[in-house]
């Protein structure tokens, strides 16, 4: 409550100094948590997830017995009916759109496998994200944005070849292509950062989408940075990945987002310890000695322990 309102209440009711202090103390307290509303929202979301999973398992179990057109119509209805329910019932809008988004992925996968469109996996995820984007924006739901970012991240991962074929890309694509792969993950991180500034479509507190976008970007930057250094000895790409992680960490430190800070510290520890180990083993040639192994173990313990201690102190300060 603004202080001017407190002063007005004190003057209007002619409160004593003791009563005024008690009123000010009550104004600083957080309102009680509406557990019933939270439980309702959680149960509705769980119900949507169970319905989506049940639909997929039912179709998989009845796959040989059902006709192609029947399965196609069931999946189309699984997308359309939740969309209609979301427009008619505001109480279950988020859960209905979550179910529609999951069913949309199943529908696209069914079409791609049944009719052999020739589309790659990343094209499936890109189309999935593009079709789900309109109702994700309109719904203004943090959970839907988190799911949408997960779909986008999967599409980017398949397109880049993250994980299974990243070393082939690093060898065949050249430095410019690898830099492009690093930069493509910037929007995945920045979308949740910009959600509170989207005007009518803004999400006030991206508590789920923020860590989701940051986690996906950090995982990609860490994997690309480590593999570019270990497999190709590309220090510039490794340092660029370190710079991207440092920028994300600086932003998380400025906003005091503890979940993102924790993810960023994990990525930073992995990157700098891999760089240290690579330098010791490949350049200084001291990593294979007993002293080198002991030094590496000590640096890992100090780095991880110091990061955990600092994050714990920051959490205690924010809780006070």
Assess if residue 316 is contained within a domain: yes
How far apart are alpha carbons 88 and 77 in whole angstroms? 16
CB-based burial of residue 64 (10 Å sphere; 0-12 exposed, 13-18 middle, 19+ buried)?
exposed
Token pair of 6 as six digits = 């407190």
Please tell me whether residues 244 and 293 are part of one structural domain. Answer: yes
Cα separation of 32 and 36, whole Å? 11
**In whole angstroms, what is the distance from residue 268 CA to residue 275 CA?**
11
Are 233 and 174 contained in the same domain?
yes
Residues 98 and 173 grouped into a single domain? no
Same-domain status, 185 and 50: no
> Contact, 188 vs 152, CB < 8 A?
yes
Residue 131 in any domain: the answer is no
pLDDT at 319: 65
User: Based on the domain organization, do 26 and 40 belong to the same domain?
Assistant: no
- In tens, the pLDDT along 290-316 reads 777 888 889 989 999 998 988 888 888
Query: Is residue 129 included in any domain, yes or no?
Result: no
Q: Give the DSSP letter string of 37-99.
A: HHHHHHHHHHHHHHHHHHHHHHHHHTTTTS-HHHHHHHHHHHHHHHHHHHHH-GGGHHHHHHH
- Output the CA torsion sign for 272, 277, 282, 285: positive
209 and 253, same domain (yes or no):
yes
Q: What is the pLDDT of residues 175-198, one digit of tens each?
A: 677 788 888 899 999 999 988 887
The overall longest dimension of the chain from CA atoms, in Å, is: 80
**Of 118, 153, 177, which closes a domain?**
118
pLDDT tens digit string along 223-241? 989 988 888 788 888 999 9
> Based on the domain organization, do 21 and 46 belong to the same domain?
no
Residues 17, 110, single domain; the answer is no
Count of domains observed in the chain? 3
User: What mean pLDDT do residues 18-46 have?
Assistant: 70
Question: Is 2 strand, coil or helix?
Answer: coil
Residue 130 lies in a domain: no
**How far is residue 95's CA from residue 97's CA, in Å, rounded to a whole number?**
5
Q: Is residue 123 in some structural domain?
A: no
Which residues constitute the domain of residue 46?
A: 35-118
Q: Is residue 125 part of a domain?
A: no
Do 24 and 47 have their domain in common?
no
Question: Same domain, yes or no, for 187 and 41?
Answer: no
Whether residue 163 is contained in a domain is answered as: yes
Same domain for 195 and 70, yes or no, is: no
The CA distance from 45 to 99, in Å, is 9
Extract the runs of DSSP E, i.e. beta strands, from the chain.
Answer: none
Same domain for 210 and 102? no
- pTM assigned to the model: 0.79
* Mean pLDDT (whole number) for 84-106: 88
Distance CA 244, CA 268 (A): 10
């Amino acid at each position: 409550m603004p202080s001017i309102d407190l002063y007005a209440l004190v003057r209007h009711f002619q409160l004593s100094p003791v009563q005024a202090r008690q009123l000010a103390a009550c104004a600083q307290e957080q309102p009680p948590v509406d557990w019933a509303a939270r439980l309702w929202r959680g149960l509705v979301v769980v119900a949507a997830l169970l319905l989506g999973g049940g639909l997929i398992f039912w179709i998989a179990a009845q796959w040989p017995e059902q006709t192609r057109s029947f399965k196609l119509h069931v999946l189309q209805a699984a997308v359309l009916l939740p969309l209609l329910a979301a427009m008619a019932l505001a109480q279950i809008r988020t859960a209905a759109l979550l179910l529609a988004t999951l069913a949309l992925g199943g529908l696209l996968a069914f079409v791609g496998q049944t009719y052999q469109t020739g589309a790659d996996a990343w094209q499936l995820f890109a189309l999935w994200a593009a079709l789900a984007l309109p109702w994700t924006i309109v719904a203004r739901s943090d959970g839907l944005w988190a799911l949408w970012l997960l779909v986008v991240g999967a599409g980017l991962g398949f397109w880049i070849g993250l994980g299974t074929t990243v070393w082939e890309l690093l060898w065949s694509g050249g430095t410019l292509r690898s830099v492009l792969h690093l930069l493509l993950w910037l929007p995945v991180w920045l979308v949740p950062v910009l959600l509170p500034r989207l005007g009518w479509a803004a999400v006030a507190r991206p508590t789920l989408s923020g860590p989701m976008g940051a986690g996906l970007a950090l995982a990609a930057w860490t994997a690309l940075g480590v593999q570019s250094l270990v497999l190709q000895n590309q220090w510039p790409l490794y340092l660029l990945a370190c710079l991207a992680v440092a920028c994300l960490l600086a932003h998380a430190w400025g906003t005091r987002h503890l979940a993102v800070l924790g993810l960023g510290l994990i990525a930073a520890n992995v990157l700098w310890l891999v760089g240290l180990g690579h330098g010791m083993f490949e350049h200084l040639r001291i990593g294979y000695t007993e002293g080198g192994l002991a030094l590496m173990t000590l640096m890992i313990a100090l780095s991880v322990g110091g990061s955990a201690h600092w994050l714990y102190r920051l959490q205690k300060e924010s809780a006070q």
